[in-house]
Amino acid sequence: MQNKLKAYIKTTELFLKGSSFYRGVLLTIAIVLPLFVFNILDLFAYAPAIALGIFLNAPSDVPGSLRRKINGIFISIALTILITFIILITKPVFVLLVIAITVLSFGISLISAYGFRASLISFSGLLAIVLALAIDKPDIKSIAIHVGLLGLGGLWYLSFSLFANWIFPKKDDDQILSDTLQLTGQFLKVRAKLLVKPNKREKFSKKALILQTQISEKHETLRELLLEGRKRSGRSHSNERRLLIFISLVDIFELALANSLDYSKIDSLFGLRKKHLNSFKKMNKEMGKHLIALSELLIKKGKLPDIELFNDIYQETDKAILDYVDEISLPKAREGAISLRNLQDYQKQLLQEVKAIRRVLRKVKNNSKAFLKTKESVPFLTSQDYSFNILLQHFSLKSPMLRHALRLTIAIVFGFLLGSLLDIKNAYWIILTIIVIMRPNYGLTKERSKNRIIGTIIGAVIATAIVLITQNTIVYMVLAVISLTFAFSLIQQSYKAGAAFITLNIVFVYALIDPNAFTVIQYRVIDTVLGAGIAVLANYLLFPSWEYKNLDSVILNVITTNSDYLEATKHLYHNKEENSLEYKVSRKKAFLAMSNLNAAFQRLTQDPKSKQKESALIYDMVTLNHTILSAIASIGSYVLNHNTTPASEEFDTIIKDITSSLKHAASKLELNETVHFSEEKEIHQAHEKLQKRYNNLSLKRDSDIEAGQTEIDNKTLLNLQEAHLISNQLLWLKSLSVNLNNVTIKYKSVFN
């Protein structure tokens, strides 16, 4: 009970000191301040329009480069002014209004094609339609004043946001770094469970895939925040510190992916002797917990957690290797012992990165990790294409974006007509619910609908209880402000809680205007249920975009980027200094592509069971591509972090064959060309030569042991590890690429 209380207090403290709550407070101040000032100046009639302008243009103020943030808010201001003007000018003529809503909804929805920030600008535009429907302006003069005040509100919010960013310039950076540290820590803990729990591997593997997707998304945001900011304002000590943490997190992520072990081989090597793996599991788990503890220090003050524990665990891993060798005896124990040495080596590298993050948090100067040159950062930034061709590419019913735009437009128009036909009070709430709930895929729309309804009912029940207890307008005003802050703070973290606070805010605001607050509560619940129902039905019935139909291009991108990543890894093995940048850029693209495939598969699992066509086959495609990525990362990570021998001709021959195999799989997927594979003699000989090198090193080591040299020197150990890893990973990659071709043929035969 005491531990739960401590955990709750810590969670609450992290939330109150985090950027989400900070953003909620800022938005509340930005809205309340003009209301207060204009009331003092006896100009309160103008204040609501300014508040609406703030509310409309706040969504596009999300973490990212300052330039994109400013441009996004300016575009949002212009768009919301134009939409509000069109809706208000056509409002007197019902037919014109319906046409305006239809055309605007469709056009605004398509803006989302330009990326995440554009989707938030699109949301502001759709929100402008709803809020314009809630307002009556009888003449052109009052319309002009209203839209002018909306623009003024948007400009005020932009100014206030820039001022807040100047006061606390790195709030978003620290929050996203903290979130990434926490997710990476959770990822390492899941990886620890994968090592020793074969019966639960599928469950933990799926959890790991979800975490990988979330981590990759955070990495993209951090690249924009840290690298774009660095290009714009140059180096600063605080920026470099955050960049160093980010670089270590990327390295940890790659190391973890690179050591996605061949668990079937681990099981065959260790069988019932899993006790030898327990210390390695413990090491991963404790490093995960340590990263989570460090994530909290970026948000709240505190002491660095003790690191001495890792020295003890590392000694336990040493003992585990010796115990395994004693129990099995050499040479039979060699392969298992080398696998454990490779695992220990990986964990040692992980620990170095954890220590590097600790040094940054301690603000130790002259950190050993080299700073990234500004010109080298450019290839890591993902540029968004804003050309008109992007929209033209989506003008096809095969495009999920166009289908979503059509679906959303029909749902909005239907909701508006239904509300008008039934003469429902505040019917625009139906449209508002549709807009905030509806997403391109069915599963997320259904989940948000459920959370929206539950949150609204919870908010309505709490509001009813408060209204029954008191009729004090001062209480309503205070609660309206508090609920507004928490609504903005929680809407991204917990949609259900956010919806509850939004309902509370709306009820208390209306209670200040109309004493009969129960009517507001009643219609709020009814309109929310109607809107949610329309959104879910529209997603299911109108131009449904089931995920299995959209996977070809995502899988193709993964295979292509994996092929490029493997080629870059080959170049890295030949010359680290010249090719490390090419390798890291290829790595980033491959990780992002895999993240997109993971996300697509998660969306597939949220579709109705009847629409999860061949989900087991698709899961095989996902896991095969992920395993190929991990195997490539395993070679690349080893080469990058060790002094290696020169790459052999056999290595190049096998890499060329695997790359060709991946390209054949891509060709089959894209062009549906069947390719028949035969084992080439040259490839077989190359594998034999690589294996022979490892065998020769093993025989030499056996001779040394027989001669009484029981202690292995570092050079021999590293040569054995390298020969073992390269030979095994290439053999594994070859097998995986052949399996991928077979599964791709089966996949195309099913979905052709």
What backbone phi and psi angles, to 5 degrees, belong to 382?
-90, 115
On the question of pLDDT at 106 being above 90, the answer is yes
Q: Are 456 and 522 in contact (CB under 8 A)?
A: no
Residues 592 and 460 in one domain: no
Residue 370, pLDDT score = 42
Closest CA to 401 of 107, 55, 88, 731: 107
Q: Is residue 42 assigned to a domain?
A: yes
Residue 587, pLDDT score = 87
Mean pLDDT of 414-442: 84
Closest CA to 262 of 164, 161, 166, 342: 342
Q: Is residue 385 assigned to a domain?
A: no
Q: Is residue 386 assigned to a domain?
A: no
Residues 478 and 561 in one domain: no
Residue 264, pLDDT score = 66
Residue 560, pLDDT score = 92
Mention every residue, 6+ apart, whose C-beta is less than 8 A from residue 272.
Answer: none
Structure tokens at 205: 């593997």
Q: Are 381 and 228 in contact (CB under 8 A)?
A: yes
Q: Are 296 and 178 in contact (CB under 8 A)?
A: yes
Q: Are 83 and 128 in contact (CB under 8 A)?
A: yes
Q: Are 726 and 651 in contact (CB under 8 A)?
A: yes
pLDDT over 70 percentage in the chain: 84
Residues 507 and 447 in one domain: yes
On the question of pLDDT at 752 being above 90, the answer is no
Residue 682, pLDDT score = 60
Return mean pLDDT, the chain: 80
Residue 17, pLDDT score = 81
| Domain boundary residue, one of 129, 153, 168 | 168
Q: Is residue 391 assigned to a domain?
A: no
In the Cβ-directed half-sphere of 359, how many Cα atoms lie within 13 Å? 15
> How far, CA to CA in Å, does 207 sit from each of 213, 263, 592?
10, 17, 17
Closest CA to 244 of 349, 351, 368: 368
Structure tokens at 388: 């008109």
The amino acid occupying position 728 is N
**pLDDT range class, residue 369, cuts 50, 70, 90:** very low
Q: What is d(CA 101, CA 125) in angstroms, rounded to the nearest whole number?
A: 11
Q: Are 446 and 539 in contact (CB under 8 A)?
A: yes
Closest CA to 74 of 168, 162, 165: 162
pLDDT single digits (tens) 376-396: 444 544 555 556 676 677 677
Residues 317 and 425 in one domain: no
Q: Is residue 380 assigned to a domain?
A: no
pLDDT single digits (tens) 520-533: 777 778 888 888 88
pLDDT single digits (tens) 456-500: 888 888 888 888 888 777 888 888 888 888 888 887 778 888 888
Residues 159 and 191 in one domain: no
**pLDDT range class, residue 86, cuts 50, 70, 90:** very high
Mean pLDDT of 510-528: 74
Residues 333 and 185 in one domain: yes
State in Å, rounded, how far the first CA of the chain is from the last one. 57
Closest CA to 554 of 595, 608, 610: 595
Mention every residue, 6+ apart, whose C-beta is less than 8 A from residue 328.
Answer: 336
Residues, the chain: 752
**pLDDT range class, residue 145, cuts 50, 70, 90:** very high
- The domain spanning residue 338 has which CATH number? 1.20.58
In the Cβ-directed half-sphere of 156, how many Cα atoms lie within 13 Å? 24
On the question of pLDDT at 519 being above 50, the answer is yes
On the question of pLDDT at 714 being above 80, the answer is no
Q: Is residue 375 assigned to a domain?
A: no
Q: Are 467 and 518 in contact (CB under 8 A)?
A: yes
Residues 537 and 563 in one domain: no
Residue 151, pLDDT score = 93
| Domain boundary residue, one of 545, 566, 596 | 545
On the question of pLDDT at 367 being above 60, the answer is no
Q: Is residue 66 assigned to a domain?
A: yes
Residues 115 and 185 in one domain: no
Residues 670 and 529 in one domain: no
Residues 580 and 681 in one domain: yes
Q: Which residues span the domain enclosing 337?
A: 171-370
Q: How many domains does the chain have?
A: 4
pLDDT over 90 percentage in the chain: 11
On the question of pLDDT at 91 being above 80, the answer is yes
Residue 377, pLDDT score = 47
**pLDDT range class, residue 159, cuts 50, 70, 90:** very high
Residues 243 and 152 in one domain: no
Q: Is residue 365 assigned to a domain?
A: yes
Structure tokens at 225: 């925040």
DSSP 3-state percent helix, strand, coil across the chain (nearest 5): 80, 0, 20
Q: What is d(CA 274, CA 657) in angstroms, rounded to the nearest whole number?
A: 36
Mention every residue, 6+ apart, whose C-beta is less than 8 A from residue 152.
Answer: 50, 53
Residues 134 and 10 in one domain: yes
Q: What is d(CA 290, CA 294) in angstroms, rounded to the nearest whole number?
A: 6
Residue 77, pLDDT score = 94
Long-range CB contacts (within 8 A, 24+) of 711-719:
717/341, 718/642, 718/643, 719/645
Closest CA to 82 of 145, 128, 139: 128
| Domain boundary residue, one of 484, 514, 545 | 545
- pTM value is 0.81
Residue 648, pLDDT score = 76
Residue 62, pLDDT score = 78
The amino acid occupying position 487 is A
